[in-house]
C-alpha cells in the first residue's frame, strides 16, 4: 500500500508541534522549579517542590471550573 492510500503523507501535524513545544516548556518549568516550598493553611503545613504545588493548584482550579460549567449546563 502506498502512503497516500492509507492517508499518511509523512507530514507532522501542527497540533503535534504545539504538543511537543508545550511538553518542552513543561519539562523546563519542572527543572527550574524543583526548590521546596512550604505551604501553610490553617494548622496544616506541608513542604513540596514548587512545580508540584502549582500543578495541584492548577488541577483544583480545573476541577472547580468543570463543576461550575456542569452546573451552568443544567440550567
Over residues 30-67, the pLDDT tens digits come to: 889 889 999 998 999 999 999 999 889 999 999 999 99
**Cell matching residue 10:** 509523512
**Cell matching residue 27:** 519539562
CA distance 53 to 38: 9
pTM for the structure as a whole: 0.60
**Cell matching residue 60:** 483544583
CA distance 63 to 5: 42
Largest CA distance in the chain: 66
Sorted by where each begins, the domain ranges of the chain are 3-74
Amino acid at each position: 500500500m502506498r502512503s497516500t492510500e492509507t492517508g499518511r503523507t509523512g507530514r507532522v501535524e501542527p497540533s503535534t508541534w504545539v504538543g511537543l513545544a508545550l511538553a518542552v516548556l513543561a519539562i523546563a518549568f519542572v527543572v527550574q522549579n524543583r526548590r521546596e516550598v512550604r505551604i501553610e493553611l490553617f494548622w496544616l503545613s506541608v513542604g513540596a517542590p514548587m512545580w508540584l504545588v502549582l500543578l495541584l493548584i492548577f488541577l483544583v482550579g480545573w476541577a472547580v471550573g468543570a463543576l461550575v460549567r456542569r452546573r451552568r449546563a443544567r440550567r
